[in-house]
């Protein structure tokens, strides 16, 4: 999962600081690398490297990022390379000079990479599928070999991209002679919003992964890009939209609402915060239905993503809500940390228990989801060490049983704790006295209740049903080989860095 940003300002001020601010707001989507490219008088100015936004950009870098239009990207660590060569945006000089940043994953990246080399005669310099996407777009854009291109030429190239690539993707790009553009995959799996802001000079426009980035910079949400839709914003501030996919279907990723997106974001007109409130309500209804004589003394969230659901669940149960764990905000998100050892080490660094809230009580811990079970098991143990009499555990999401292939680097099926275990077995593995999962129908209802136009979601990590319909057992097996921790460690020892081929996630 990554964050993308693009800004066109019709005034005289450079956009570098605002792109920096937007990437900081979207830092939760990627903590591995960051990059900004701006454009002035047809020339690109770039800075990108591994690290958090605040560490990648110094004053000397910001001075060099001149121009009234630009794009930015934050990348999260995955099964792929941690080399700075994988930091985005990527650049190609032909045709016209193009840069692009991408959030998602191409499921046919290996096949398309071969086509790019053998048919398009283009060279790929990294293992990133984002570079694949950029080169496909660049190749399609140059087919008419025009000296000057129009918005319609860009839309036609994007339409051809949709025909060649598969998977989940939201991309933002910039062409030196035109302006910025963005497009979303035909299923709307990855989010992408467009905002506008009135100034004394005219209308500025912004593209971002989440609406919260628009809010922070004073932009008003204009619209979410629809599945398959594209937008072009010229350096003069002219904006055009066009549907570029033949058969678009709304099927956004439901895990955005469960975990990745910030609660103050709107995605496809759905409030992430309200969705999580309803998740807590649905989970409480299940507890009251299946466990009416429960002996829960207190409800506690595992900060931060589950807090919203936990508050509503406690209200519905009529049980006290307490903050039993305090989070160190300077430790990254455990879910997206590479390597089991690092994930284990970070849990106790990230959370500290308040013993007085646990002592002698039957505690219900609420988390957004359970993936490997590593974090959950350690947190249950911490609750017991803090004096809890009994520790119950509830997940605001259903059991994660299948790998996710559209840009969230969920691990190998063998490392998913629920993959081959019953609920009771998972409870035993993580060490809790009772485990409650959200029902999938309830999760879908909790999210879809906020929208009049979206009534289906990609729930593949819970259901094994993939929205694009092209995921084969062979593809999942290759993904398994690339994603499991043993394979990553072996590759790291072999190459000196975590490189596993084309399966890098953006």
* Tokens of residue 487, six digits: 């394979």
480 labelled as ligand-binding?
A: no
What is the distance of C-alpha 42 from the center of its chain?
31
Report residue 425 as tokens. 């077995």
- DSSP tag of 128: B
Read off the tokens for 192.
Answer: 């992408």
User: Rounded CA gap, 447 and 1, in Å?
Assistant: 20
Residue 305 annotated as part of some ligand binding site: yes
C-alpha–C-alpha distance, residues 439 and 441, integer Å: 6
Q: Shortest CA distance to 186 belongs to which of 106, 117, 124, 254?
A: 106
Written as six digits, the tokens of 172 are: 């933002």
Closest among 127, 121, 152, 124 to 139, alpha carbons compared: 121
CB-based contacts of 47: which residues, under 8 Å, 6+ apart? 35, 36, 56, 57, 61, 64, 65
Q: Does 2 participate in catalysis according to the annotation?
A: yes
Strands of 43-50's sheet, edge to edge?
43-50, 33-40, 69-75, 3-8, 202-208, 193-199, 220-224
Q: How far is the C-alpha of 129 from the C-alpha of 42, rounded, in Å?
A: 26
Which of 2, 244, 253, 432 does the annotation list as catalytic? 2
* Angle at 358 (CA atoms; ends 353, 363), nearest 5 degrees: 110
The C-alpha atoms of residue 229 and residue 181 are separated, in whole angstroms, by 11
Q: Detail the residues annotated as belonging to a binding site for Mg(2+).
A: 305, 367-368
**Binding site: which residues?**
305, 367-368
**Which residues are annotated as catalytic?**
2
């Amino acid at each position: 999962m990554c964050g993308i940003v693009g800004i066109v300002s019709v005034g005289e001020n450079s956009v570098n600081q605002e792109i920096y601010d937007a990437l900081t707001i979207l830092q939760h989507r990627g903590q591995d690398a960051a990059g900004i490219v701006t454009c002035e008088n047809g020339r690109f100015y770039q800075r990108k490297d591994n690290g958090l936004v605040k560490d990648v950009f110094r004053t000397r870098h910001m001075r060099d990022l001149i121009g009234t239009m630009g794009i930015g990207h934050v990348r999260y660590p995955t099964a792929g390379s941690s080399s700075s060569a994988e930091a985005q945006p990527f650049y190609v000089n032909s045709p016209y000079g193009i840069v692009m940043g991408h959030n998602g994953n191409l499921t046919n990246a290996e096949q398309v990479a071969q086509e790019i080399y053998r048919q398009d005669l283009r060279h790929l310099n990294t293992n990133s599928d984002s570079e694949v996407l950029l080169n496909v777009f660049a190749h399609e854009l140059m087919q008419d070999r025009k000296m000057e291109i129009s918005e319609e030429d860009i839309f036609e190239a994007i339409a051809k991209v949709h025909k060649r690539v598969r998977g989940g993707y939201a991309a933002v790009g910039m062409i030196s002679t035109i302006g910025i553009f963005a497009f979303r995959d035909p299923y709307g799996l990855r989010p992408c919003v467009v905002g506008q802001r009135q100034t004394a000079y005219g209308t500025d426009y912004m593209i971002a992964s989440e609406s919260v980035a628009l809010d922070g910079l004073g932009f008003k949400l204009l619209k979410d890009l629809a599945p398959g839709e594209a937008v072009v914003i010229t350096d003069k501030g002219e904006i055009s939209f066009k549907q570029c996919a033949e058969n678009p279907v709304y099927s956004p990723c439901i895990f955005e609402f469960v975990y990745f997106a910030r609660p103050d974001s709107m995605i496809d007109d759905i409030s992430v915060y309200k969705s999580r409130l309803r998740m807590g309500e649905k989970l409480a209804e299940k507890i009251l239905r299946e466990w009416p004589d429960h002996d829960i003394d207190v409800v506690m969230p595992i900060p931060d993503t589950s807090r919203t659901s936990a508050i509503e669940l406690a209200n519905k149960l009529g049980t006290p809500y307490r903050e039993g764990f305090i989070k160190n905000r300077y430790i990254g998100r455990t879910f997206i940390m590479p390597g089991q050892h690092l994930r284990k080490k970070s849990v106790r660094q990230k959370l500290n228990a308040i013993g007085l809230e646990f002592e002698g009580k039957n505690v219900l811990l609420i988390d957004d989801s359970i993936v490997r079970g590593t974090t959950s098991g350690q947190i249950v143990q911490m609750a017991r060490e803090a004096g809890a009499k009994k520790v119950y555990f509830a997940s605001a999401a259903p059991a994660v049983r299948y790998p996710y292939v559209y840009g969230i680097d969920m691990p190998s099926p063998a490392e998913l704790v629920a993959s081959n275990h019953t609920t009771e077995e998972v409870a035993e593995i993580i060490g809790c006295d009772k485990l409650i999962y959200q029902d999938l129908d309830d999760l879908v209802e909790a999210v879809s209740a906020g929208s009049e136009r979206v009534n289906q979601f990609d729930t593949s990590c819970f259901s094994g049903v993939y929205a694009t319909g092209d995921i084969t057992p062979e593809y999942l097996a290759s993904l398994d080989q690339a994603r499991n921790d043993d394979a990553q460690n072996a590759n790291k020892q072999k190459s000196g860095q975590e490189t596993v081929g084309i399966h890098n996630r953006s």
